[in-house]
Amino acid sequence: MSFQRPSFATLSFPGEDARESWITAADGTWRRVENASGGMMGIEAIAFDSAPFWSLNHEAAPDEAVALRWEGFGLTNAGGSRLWAHWPVTRKGKQVLVSTVALSAESSGQGWENLRAEGFEPSARMLPLPASGLTVWKELGRYVVAFTREAKLLHVAVLTSRSLDVDAAFEVRDLCSALQTHGFLDEISAIHVWTRCETDFAPQLACLFEVAAVIKEPRPDPRLPADASGLLPAQVAAMRQQKQRRQRQLLLMATAAMVYLCFFGAWWLRLQWRESRLNQTDVKMAAEQPEIDLVREAQAHWLEMEGVINPDLYPVELFHQIVSLLPNEGIRLKEFQIADGRLIVSGEATTVNHALGFKDRLAACEPLQRYHWNFPVPAIREDNRAEFRAEGTVSGGAANEGQ
């Protein structure tokens, strides 16, 4: 199995009894430390089901072929998770031997989301497994056996035996026989034992695998695989989706707050601008106030003199206009009064018709058009004479426009 320089700075690997933390040094080598979080996490073999198979369409649609296999076992990727990984092992004619592992349903409660890992890989792919052999090591208190065909990992399984003794040796032989029966595995060239075992385990393996050499040695340091599997447990995928939803909500809240601040900031700036304009206007008015006072004073003088210099407002002229409307006989004028912009005329007519005729002439008089006339119905006395009263209020006209 080929390896490349890791892209993650930290690595969490399942050791014999507890997890191991590894970090990469500046020269690219790895060294073990007491505690490190994040980075890549090696998932222990007991969390996987391994099921190699011969595929006819692996090159055309490898993901679909593997998905159909695991969906047949009841597994489905949901919520952004990726529960299985696969890689080609060897080719025979048009068939491709595919090695695949999938996270079992029992692994959903492992609490991997609390480790804050950025990526996940099967632990067996992180060890430099010998080619064309089988390897046994201890992982979190359980014994793991991995089979390789040529340089590729073919199958990995957890032994039911809790100690490496004669029974464990027969269990390894049975697993190997099952793989050979399906044509997955050729002859084993070497057996590597990377952990302590009982005194009878190695001799029993030597008897069961006559052509294979049994080699006892320390487990090598873990490394990252050359190609990432893309595994993502369901609980981690759900946690990441919740985090993304929270981030989107925070972004929406921040956007709403920004819009709110921009709106009220613009409103406040507009108020400041208007206040500045008003202050400028006040300053300008204060500077022009002496001139305004002079204009108002001239206006007041004009209003005081208007009654004697404006023919339309001169009382004698108004009286002349009223008197000119009276007929030669039939109407006697009794009152003529100018006060507060009102012109009051009252009198006595010999008949109602004379009074109404005076009303019509009063309303049609052009010099008096600036008044709006109120002419109640004349009161008829016992001698059939009619008393009338007309009240005119200023309603506009040339005189007012000039003013």
0.75 exceeded by pTM: no
Three-state DSSP class for residue 134: strand
Last residue of a domain, one of 232, 262, 277: 232
Last residue of a domain, one of 177, 199, 232: 232
Higher pLDDT, 325 or 54: 54
Give tens-digit pLDDT for 231-278.
988 888 888 888 888 999 999 999 999 999 999 999 999 999 999 999
276 in a structural domain: yes
Residue 375 sits in a domain of what CATH number? Answer: 3.30.1360.100
The residue ranges of DSSP E strands in 70-163, in sequence order, are: 84-92, 95-103, 119-122, 133-139, 142-149, 152-158
294 in a structural domain: yes
Tokens of 127: 């060890």
The answer to whether residues 286 and 342 belong to one domain is: no
182: part of which helix (H) or strand (E)? none
246 in a structural domain: no
The answer to whether residues 176 and 302 belong to one domain is: no
The full DSSP string for 216-242 is E-PPPPP---SS---BB-HHHHHHHHH
pLDDT at 402: 36
The answer to whether residues 389 and 260 belong to one domain is: no
Angle, vertex CA 135, rays to CA 36 and CA 51, nearest 5: 90
Tokens of 95: 């068939």
375 in a structural domain: yes
CB-based contacts of 222, cutoff 8 Å, min separation 6: 11, 13, 20, 22, 30, 42, 123, 126, 127
259 in a structural domain: yes
Instruction: State the angle between helix axes of 201-208 and 166-181 in degrees (0 to 180), rounded to the nearest 10.
Output: 30
Query: Distance (Å, rounded) from C-alpha 41 to C-alpha 12?
Result: 5
Task: Find the domain containing 326 and state its range.
Answer: 315-402
Three-state DSSP class for residue 200: coil
For the purposes of burial, counting CB atoms within 10 Å of the CB of 108, is it exposed (0-12), middle (13-18) or buried (19 or more)? middle
The answer to whether residues 260 and 320 belong to one domain is: no
pLDDT at 30: 84
Query: Distance (Å, rounded) from C-alpha 271 to C-alpha 243?
Result: 41
The answer to whether residues 76 and 223 belong to one domain is: yes
Give tens-digit pLDDT for 144-196.
999 999 899 999 999 999 999 999 999 999 999 999 999 999 888 899 999 99
Enumerate the β-bridge partners of residue 386.
Answer: 349, 380
The answer to whether residues 28 and 138 belong to one domain is: yes
199 in a structural domain: yes
Give tens-digit pLDDT for 306-346.
666 666 667 777 888 888 888 888 888 888 888 777 888 88
Enumerate the β-bridge partners of residue 147.
Answer: 134, 155
The answer to whether 181 touches 213, Cβ cutoff 8 Å, is: no
What is the count of structural domains for the chain?
A: 3
53 in a structural domain: yes
The answer to whether residues 45 and 175 belong to one domain is: yes
Provide mean pLDDT across the span 69-90: 88
The answer to whether residues 94 and 200 belong to one domain is: yes
Tokens of 46: 């007991």
178 in a structural domain: yes
Provide mean pLDDT across the span 189-211: 92
228: confidence class by pLDDT, cuts 50, 70, 90: confident
Last residue of a domain, one of 266, 281, 309: 309
The answer to whether residues 152 and 269 belong to one domain is: no
The answer to whether residues 303 and 372 belong to one domain is: no
pLDDT at 313: 67
**Does position 357 have pLDDT exceeding 60, yes or no?**
yes
The answer to whether 336 touches 345, Cβ cutoff 8 Å, is: yes
The answer to whether residues 272 and 123 belong to one domain is: no
pLDDT at 59: 66
The answer to whether residues 295 and 328 belong to one domain is: no
* Burial annotation 163-190 (CB, 10 A radius, 16+ → b, else e): ebebbbbebbbebbeebeeeebbeebeb
The answer to whether 322 touches 333, Cβ cutoff 8 Å, is: yes
138: confidence class by pLDDT, cuts 50, 70, 90: very high
**Does position 379 have pLDDT exceeding 80, yes or no?**
yes
Determine what percent of the chain is predicted with pLDDT higher than 70: 90
